[in-house]
Amino acid sequence: MDVTLLLGGLLLAGSTGLAWRSHRRARRAEAEAAGLRLALDAERHAASHDPLTGLPNRRAFYRYGAELVADRHRPAIAAVVVDLDDFKQINDEYGHAAGDTVLRTIARRLADYAGDDLVARLGGDEFAALLTGAAIDVARGRPADRLSDVLSTPIPLRDSSSPIPLRDSSSPNPLRDSSSPNPLRGSADITVTVTASVGLVPVPPGASLAEALGRADEEMYVAKSARCREPQAAPAHPPPGTASPEIPRKPAELARSKAGGS
């Protein structure tokens, strides 16, 4: 056999094997880089979004909201603060899984109402938004009341055969896992109505996001106090010699009373 041909064949085989190994290393490196990019994107999303509702979180809302409010060429904006009334009763009576269902439903309704506008969950049962367009056109009615009506539509907690949907097991720190008892399991369909107190104020040019949210928060507490003062049914015939029972105030109103020194 010709030695030259033999050496040429060996060199060709070696170079082919080297190219194949290099190709495999390149493909592996590309896959690792893609995985790192996905992990980084997931980490960034987790850092800026609420894991339960999928809405931007407080940190993201303040970052993007401040930029939007400071834009000199922005459209008219209204700052909105939403707080659910007596939400703790849902958790106490039906469990945290039911509370999660309510929060996800409210978040979805608020996002649908806002469209492309910025909406966030600030924490607990408190949400915020920066609205534009017809949603804040006061000349067409009371937008805060309209939004409150949208959010206060009855919420079904489960159907006749399935338990309340639990949080994704892959989510960090789930409030309940699939082994936790479901207080609604085996019961009839349940629908709850959770009212929402809404504060909505226009954001004038030159105002900061913190100032606008502070005013919206004040308006929200005005709306919540008005709900607390709504007449409630009292006993038709109180016992002789006893005073009419005082209508109990809700925790939010009590907290504001204490803060004011009353």
Q: Are 65 and 58 in contact (CB under 8 A)?
A: no
Q: Using the predicted structure, report yes or no on whether residue 252 has a pLDDT greater than 50.
A: no
Q: Could you give the C-alpha distances from 68 to 63, 119, 212, in angstroms and in order?
A: 9, 13, 12
**Distance, CA of 109 to CA of 153 (rounded, Å):** 10
Amino acid found at 238: P
Position 53 scores a pLDDT of: 96
- Which of the pair, 83 or 176, is modelled with greater confidence? 83
Which residues are known to be catalytic? 125
pLDDT surpasses 50 at 91: yes
Residue 231 pLDDT exceeds 60 = no
- Once rounded to an integer, what is the mean pLDDT over residues 234-238? 41
pLDDT: which is higher, 42 or 224: 224
Which of 94-103, 186-195, 223-232, 236-245 reaches the highest mean pLDDT? Answer: 94-103
Lowest mean pLDDT among 44-48, 128-132, 142-146, 254-258: 254-258
Do residues 211 and 246 lie in contact, with contact meaning Cβ atoms separated by under 8 Å? Answer: no
Residue 198 has pLDDT above 90, yes or no: yes
| pLDDT single digits (tens) 149-161 | 999 999 998 643 3
In 3D space, the residue among 192, 185, 197 whose CA is nearest the CA of residue 101 turns out to be: 192
Domain boundaries, the chain: 21-50, 51-229
pTM of the model as a whole: 0.64
Q: Tokens 């030159």 appear where?
A: 206
Q: What's the confidence (pLDDT) of residue 1?
A: 56
What homologous superfamily is domain 51-229 in, according to CATH?
Reverse transcriptase/Diguanylate cyclase domain (3.30.70.270)
Supply the pLDDT for residue 234. 40
The answer, yes or no, to whether residue 62 has pLDDT greater than 80, is yes
Specify the pLDDT at position 134. Answer: 56
Residue 77: the pLDDT is 92
* pLDDT for residue 182: 47
Per-residue pLDDT at 96 = 93
